[in-house]
Structure 1
Amino acid sequence: MIRCHFARLMGERKLKIADVARDTGINRGTLTRLYYETAERIELEVLDQLCEYFQIDISDLLERVNSDQASG
């Protein structure tokens, strides 16, 4: 399972989805799906924009966890 740390990153910086959407031009629906970890696919350009925006590496945004770790 892939975990997305978008919500944590936003919380640490006290940002709202509207702030990130306005600053990056990424669709609010896309950001909402990332926030709630319901996205089924993500464009590479979106990942690149988010990494640039937060000044992070992709490994800070996405993490692969074993299925048993995901439930706990």
Structure 2
Amino acid sequence: MVKCHLSKIMGERRLKISDLARDTGLNRGTLTRLYHETAERIELDVVDALCTYFGCGIAELFEHIPDSVEKPQNQ
């Protein structure tokens, strides 16, 4: 799964979704879905705008967490 750290970054900077939408010109709904980690896809221009705004790299904004895969037990 991919974890989005937007809420953490915004919290550290005491930003509201409305502030971020106004400052970046990004759609408030898109930002809300990223903030609550309910987004199913994201456009590269959105990633670019967020990284530019926060002065961060993609790895600071998103994190890949591998799904745990259960290995079958030999019987």
Q: TM-score, with normalisation over the residues of structure 2? A: 0.88
Larger fraction in helix: 1
Matched residues in 1 for 2:9 and 2:35: separation? 10
Q: Identity percentage over the alignment? A: 62
RMSD across aligned positions (CA): 0.7
1:67, CA displacement in angstroms?
A: 2.6
Counterpart of 2:66, as a letter, is N
Q: TM-score, with normalisation over the residues of structure 1? A: 0.92
Matched, 1:43 2:43: yes
Q: Size of the alignment, in residue pairs?
A: 68
* 1:11 paired residue number: 11
Q: Which runs of 5+ in 2 are unaligned?
A: 69-75
- The structure with the largest alpha-carbon Rg is 2
